[in-house]
């Protein structure tokens, strides 16, 4: 009996040792896995930092190849409008107010032959950031840049790209745009000029194409003097290169 009990105790001890060994092995494997994945993550961060410029260049090249081409603005807007209306019909719902409004606006969309390439350059300078996805220079986030940035000297004249009426002016500069001005033109076109150092035109003022409306600055989220230029057509932001030959 005593020998049997001793054998059973010995067997139990061996089983415990096996369990402990397996537990230690699993813990060690888990630790190795953590070290491996942390190393991979660190390498990825370092590579991404080193290749940030190349990633931006690649995204720009892809965008230029697929989107930055001469297009018919009527077709772009009509496609968006039709998609929203079809979506409402697919859900067996009556078209929403937005869809109805868009449907009635189809006859008011911009005639590309009248607007495309008719804008003057808003400032003398060179494009430093395109209408595309990019790594934000301040936040570091990868997101879409809804206009183009034109590098220029501090205090350089900013001109209205078309005839129009000043719709809004922000002289406080508390938003990411800093001090900016919006001008409403004909055929649903609106232009925005951001990061200004000084706003010259007033709300409600009628301005001519090429008339000075502000001065270049670096207000808001900015890393240096430049103009952030946006174009909207019936509320849709489009690539400013569709409307003027930027350098």
CATH code for the part of the protein at 119-247: 2.70.70.10
Q: For the chain (length 247 residues), average pLDDT per consecutive 10? A: 59 62 69 77 68 58 50 46 52 46 40 61 92 86 91 95 94 91 93 96 95 95 93 92 81
What values do phi and psi take at 112, rounded to 5? -60, -30
* pLDDT of res. 40: 79
* pLDDT of res. 135: 86
Q: What is the 3-state secondary structure (H, E, C) of the chain?
A: CHHHHHHHHHHHHHHHHHHHHHHHHHHHHHHHHHHHHHHHHHHHHHHHHHCHHHHHHHHHHHHHHHCCCCCCHHHHHHHHHHHHHHHHHHCCCCCCHHHHHHHHHHHHCCCHHHHCCCCCCCCCCEEEECCCEEECCCCCCEEECCCEEEECCCCCEEECCCCEEEEEEECCCCCCCCEEEEEECCCCEEEEEEEEEEECCCCCCEECCCCEEEEEECCCCCCCCEEEEEEEECCEEECHHHCCCCC
* pLDDT of res. 19: 57
* pLDDT of res. 206: 96
* pLDDT of res. 83: 57
* pLDDT of res. 26: 72
* pLDDT of res. 20: 57
* pLDDT of res. 61: 59
80: CB partners within 8 A, 6+ apart: 102, 236
* pLDDT of res. 117: 57
């Amino acid at each position: 009996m005593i020998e049997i009990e001793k054998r059973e105790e010995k067997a139990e001890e061996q089983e415990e040792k096996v369990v402990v060994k397996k537990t230690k092995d699993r813990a060690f494997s888990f630790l190795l896995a953590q070290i491996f994945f942390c190393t991979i993550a660190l390498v990825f961060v370092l590579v991404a930092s080193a290749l940030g410029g190349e990633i931006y260049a690649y995204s720009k090249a892809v965008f230029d190849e697929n989107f930055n081409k001469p297009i018919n603005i009527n077709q772009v807007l009509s496609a968006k409008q039709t998609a929203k209306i079809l979506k409402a019909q697919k859900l067996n719902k009556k078209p929403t107010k937005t869809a109805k409004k868009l449907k009635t606006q189809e006859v008011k969309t911009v005639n590309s032959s009248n607007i495309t390439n008719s804008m003057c350059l808003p400032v003398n300078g060179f494009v430093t950031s395109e209408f595309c996805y990019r790594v934000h220079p301040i936040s570091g986030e990868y997101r879409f840049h809804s206009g183009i940035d034109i590098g220029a000297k501090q205090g350089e004249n900013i001109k209205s790209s078309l005839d129009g009426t000043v719709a809004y002016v922000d002289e406080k500069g508390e938003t990411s745009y800093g001090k900016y001005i919006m001008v409403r033109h004909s055929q649903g076109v609106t232009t925005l000029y951001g990061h200004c150092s000084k706003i010259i035109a007033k709300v409600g003022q009628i301005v001519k194409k090429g008339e000075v409306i502000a001065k270049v600055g670096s207000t808001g989220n900015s890393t240096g003097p430049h103009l952030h230029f946006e174009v909207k057509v019936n509320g849709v932001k489009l690539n400013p290169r569709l409307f003027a030959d930027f350098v």
